[in-house]
Amino acid sequence: MTYSRLAGTGGYLPEKVLTNAELEKMVDTTDAWIRERTGIHKRHVAADDETTCDLAEHAARRAIEAAALNAGEIDLIIVATTTPDQIFPSTACLLQQRLDIHGCPAFDVQAVCTGFIYALGIADKFIRAGSARNALVIGAETLSRIVDWTDRKTCVLFGDGAGAVVLQASATPGILSTHLHADGQYGALLQVPTGVSKRATEDGDSYPYMEMQGNEIFKIAVNTLGRIVDETLAANDMTQADVDWLVPHQANQRIIAATAKKLKLPEDHVVMTVQEHGNTSAASVPLALDVAIRDGRIRRGETVLLEAFGGGLTWGSALLRY
């Protein structure tokens, strides 16, 4: 039996920082409101000439190095992103070229904030099926490009970044299980209403900006993430006590706290990086995972629950033994 295990991680945040104090000058908001309602202190914003692929490349190179591999040994590339550089080629193909890798499958996955969990689930299945041995799985976003910087309800929440992992074939797990879900009936609660095929909204607004009914999303997220914790533990015949670490999607400190409560996990076993970079969508889980592995909190042999929730609506989890 072949499993997949985490061989290396990497993360990257663009240099430019946008603080809550700076946002106070742009929209009618306060540092106190943003901290209290979301936990966010600042976010990173890509430079004008910096793209999602640029961020992905930094994170990918760090993950490949941490896995002690050469780029040429990578035989699958999946990039989870909602903000690809171009309509096509996919960001995964652009990245493949940057890394001078040729021939292996490379494709993007679009599941908004759950994108990395989807990509991880797919890569795990490739490896278990014997179709790949060293998969590069990335979440990378330049959400700043689809944020309406005049809308205080959304612009304070999001940021840019990239996180990456190398998943490697192994005789022992690794990834214990992945759980992927979607329900399109709630799609309009969190959306960019225009795109390639649908060019303009009914009111004629043609620029693609994010719209969110935050309050509704908040309630659904808390309930859904509670359910997926139960589903994940049941699938592995485990209880809350078996989980050492929660690495959640970094959207809102209060949503994270609710999931941690469900798991009865003390705060110091929950990896929280949302204060540093806001909601970076598909990049958020691998960014947080990378931080906690590099600073030594998550150690080999420990059990880690990853979860995410986002537009679609989509949600998912992965349980792994590091």
Single out the residue of 128, 133, 145, 153 in contact with ligand ACO (rule: CB under 6 A). Answer: 153
**Residues 254/37, Cβ–Cβ less than 8 Å:** yes
Using only C-alpha atoms, what is the Rg of the chain? Answer: 18
Is 53 designated active site? no
Decide: is 270 part of the binding site for ligand ACO (CB under 6 A). no
Decide: is 221 part of the binding site for ligand ACO (CB under 6 A). yes
Residue type present at position 24: E
Is 113 designated active site? yes
Of the two residues 30 and 240, which places its CB atom closer to ligand ACO in the complex? 30
Report which secondary-structure segment, H or E, holds 223.
Answer: helix 214-235
- DSSP labels, 204-215: ---S---EE-HH
- The residues, any chain, with a CB within 8 Å of residue 208's CB and separated by 6 or more, are 146, 192, 193, 194, 195
Q: Quote the CA–CA distance of 211 and 196 in Å, as a whole number.
A: 17
- The residues, any chain, with a CB within 8 Å of residue 176's CB and separated by 6 or more, are 236, 303, 319, 320, 321
Q: Least distance in Å: CB of 212 to ligand ACO? A: 6
Catalytic residue among 20, 134, 252, 279: 279
Q: Least distance in Å: CB of 6 to ligand ACO? A: 24
Catalytic residue among 20, 44, 93, 113: 113
Decide: is 8 part of the binding site for ligand ACO (CB under 6 A). no
The residues pairing with 132 across neighbouring beta strands, listed in sequence order, are none
Closest alpha carbon to 109 in 42, 158, 178: 178
Decide: is 33 part of the binding site for ligand ACO (CB under 6 A). yes
Decide: is 215 part of the binding site for ligand ACO (CB under 6 A). yes
Catalytic residue among 44, 181, 249, 277: 249
Of the two residues 33 and 107, which places its CB atom closer to ligand ACO in the complex? 33
Residue 264 φ/ψ region, left for φ over 0, alpha for ψ in the -120 to 50 degree band, beta for the rest: left
Other C-beta atoms lying within 10 Å of the C-beta of residue 101: 20
Is 292 in a helix, a strand, or coil?
Answer: helix
Is 279 designated active site? yes
Decide: is 94 part of the binding site for ligand ACO (CB under 6 A). no
Q: Quote the CA–CA distance of 67 and 113 in Å, as a whole number.
A: 25
Of 46-54, 164-172, 195-203, 308-316, the window that binds ligand ACO (rule: CB under 6 A) is 308-316
Q: Quote the CA–CA distance of 216 and 310 in Å, as a whole number.
A: 12
Output the CA torsion 249→251→252→253 (10° steps).
40
Of residues 247-266, those binding ligand ACO (CB under 6 A): 251-252, 255
Decide: is 76 part of the binding site for ligand ACO (CB under 6 A). no
Decide: is 311 part of the binding site for ligand ACO (CB under 6 A). yes
Of 50-58, 150-158, 165-173, 257-265, the window that binds ligand ACO (rule: CB under 6 A) is 150-158
Single out the residue of 105, 128, 201, 218 in contact with ligand ACO (rule: CB under 6 A). Answer: 218
Decide: is 156 part of the binding site for ligand ACO (CB under 6 A). yes
Of the two residues 78 and 190, which places its CB atom closer to ligand ACO in the complex? 190
Residue 202 CA neighbour count, 13 Å, CB half = 0
Q: Least distance in Å: CB of 258 to ligand ACO? A: 11
- Kindly list the catalytic residues: 113, 249, 279
Note the residues at the interface with ligand ACO (CB under 6 A): 29, 33, 37-38, 112-113, 152-153, 156, 190, 214-215, 217-218, 221, 251-252, 255, 279, 281, 309-311
